[in-house]
Homo-oligomer: A and B are copies of this chain.
């Protein structure tokens, strides 16, 4: 049999499998990193952790009234060791770390930073974006007038040589990074790579690491790496104000009703407080007090996260098993095998990611649009697909993975045959 007729046979088989799958008329959605209702149920007791009779915090603050810009100290104490940020360099805010990011970046654009009071908005401004990355990071900073420069990631994190080369331009003000279980690769930056980022020369005196530690306690396995103390690494390298650290409990307690965190060097935290003081009288302390009581202490957070892992690790494994079983002995695809976070990145043959997403949509499996993982929605190799397995129930994840395999096979053989 000629290679082409063998391929044609494989294509025919893939086509039949795809049609068979599509004919089932399923409606599955693995697009967004949302917790499932079962995960949200884990935080059921949070909702009634503050009642009319017990509105006073341990340190004696009426959580219901105005004030307390930095957030409840008891909440900051719980998360300080988990995030490796001293309590007095950690602020607790409202329900969205994305809003903290927007605020910090807006302050820098309008007023300059703690390290350099020249507003970023006075001239051209650029940010380094390790790809694949998080679409909301890109959309936010594009809206604030930043030019987004893609830099590659390897298995230890962003490639330093490329970052350093680009940072020779003083209009490059910083770099996005999800250090642990990155969205969407699941890759965790190595301590060595983090130390290099902390010490990396940069033309901008206030080159800033936008350290979005969204998944810092979101381990899937009992054995896991530790959060990196980026504050200390940067301070040791003589760049104490370099990192802005963001985190939230959106994927710990409730996705719409959690609490967020900002950490940084001592001057950056003062700078943030001064600027926040113009736009807010303080965060929702009642919801913060709920979190304090619900967790009790740092160990309480870790115990809670193990319950999440019990729910979502099987969903990750369902996708990974389906991919391994279908493509383990081929070179049609590769994929990441995360030990935490919310995403798996699937890398297809070049040029077919959008075709896979389209086939999947037509077969009832909604995938994140191809390109969403790159600045401006443009994946130049058109080969990256983000898989978010947490939201559907396990059976649906298994079905969606089956469908994904069928789509990927079909698109791959089409491509190979087209040559």
Residue A44 CB within 8 A of the other chain: yes
Q: Which B residues are in CB contact (< 8 Å) with A214?
A: none
A102 part of interface (Cβ distance < 8 Å)? yes
Identity of the chain B residue whose Cβ is nearest the Cβ of A65 in the assembled complex:
B255
For the complex formed by this chain, how many copies does it contain in all? 2
A26-47 to B contact mask, C-beta < 8 Å, 1/0? 0000001011010011011101
Contact of A257 with B by CB under 8 A: yes
Tell me the minimal C-beta distance from A37 to chain B in angstroms.
Answer: 6
**In the complex, how many angstroms separate the beta carbon of A33 from the nearest chain B beta carbon?**
9
Find chain B residues with CB under 8 A from A328 CB.
Answer: none
Give complex CA distance A254, B64 in Å. 5
- In the complex, whether A400 has a CB less than 8 A from a CB of chain B is no
Instruction: Say yes or no: A257-B279 contact (C-beta < 8 A), given A48-B48, A52-B48, A250-B66.
Output: no
Closest to A43 in B: B64
Residue of B nearest to A44 (CB): B52
Check A256–B66 contact: CB distance below 8 A: yes
Chain B residues contacting A103 (CB-CB under 8 Å) are: 279
A145 contacts B by Cβ under 8 Å:
yes
A66 touches B257 (CB 8 A): no
CB-CB under 8 A for A110 and B145, given A50-B47, A64-B255, A66-B255? yes
* Contact present for A110 and B144 (CB under 8 Å): yes
Contacts of A282 in B (CB 8 A): 96, 256
- In the assembled complex, which residues on chain B have CB atoms less than 8 Å from the CB atom of A143? 111, 275, 278
Cβ–Cβ contact B62 & A95, under 8 A: no
- Least Cβ–Cβ distance between A215 and chain B, in angstroms: 15
- Kindly list chain B residues whose C-beta atoms are within 8 Å of the C-beta of A45: 52
Of the candidates B37, B96, B98, B284, the one whose C-beta lies within 8 Å of that of A257 is B284
Does the CB pair B35–A98 fall under 8 Å? Answer: no
Tell me whether A106 is interfacial, beta carbon within 8 Å.
yes
Encoded as 1 (CB less than 8 Å from any B CB) or 0, chain A from 260 to 303 comes to 00000000000000010011111111110000000000000000
Rounded to whole Å, the gap between the CB of A30 and the closest CB of chain B is 15
Among A64, A110, A280, which residue has the most Cβ atoms of chain B within 10 A?
A64
22 contacts between A and B (CB under 8 A): A34-B66, A40-B64, A40-B65, A44-B51, A48-B51, A64-B254, A64-B255, A64-B256, A65-B254, A68-B256, A95-B284, A99-B280, A102-B279, A103-B279, A106-B110, A110-B121, A110-B144, A121-B121, A136-B281, A143-B278, A256-B284, A287-B287
Mark A residues whose CB is within 8 Å of B: 32, 34-35, 37, 40-41, 43-45, 47-48, 50-52, 55, 62-68, 94-96, 98-99, 101-103, 106, 109-111, 121, 136, 139-140, 143-145, 250, 254-257, 275, 278-287
